[in-house]
Amino acid sequence: MDNVFQRVYEITARIPYGRVTTYGQIARLLGNPRLSRIVGCALNGAPADLPCHRVVNRLGGLSDAFSPLGKESQRLLLEMEGVPFRLDGGVDLTACMWYGEEEEKPGAGALPQEH
């Protein structure tokens, strides 16, 4: 389990400033989309310097368990990074979702050139 937790930490550390990802997306990057609860367990005991505030649920919802202050502190940290929120209070995933590996490759997300 420690190896899985370490991999969760490594992926979480790569989430860019101003972007978020989901527990499920981290699980997919681990190679098993069914591990989203394990991702949550790992982040619950994560090192303090890890940007855990950038991980939200599949609907863009924040976590009451993020800190003793609840999801308000998570929202504040995300707002400070410029992460947009919907009117219902969830993160606007269409505007700031980070999918991981593919985005880290040079040219990823670039449109094909017409010849």
- Catalytic residue at 52? yes
| Residue appearing with tokens 């550390």 | 13
Q: Which of 42, 52, 55, 62 is catalytic?
A: 52
Q: For residue 24, what are the CA distances in angstroms to 28, 68, 87, 107, 115?
A: 6, 24, 23, 25, 38
Do residues 90 and 59 touch, judged by C-beta distance below 8 A?
A: yes
Type of residue numbered 18:
G
CA dist., res. 67 & res. 43, Å (int): 11
Q: Which residues are catalytic?
A: 52
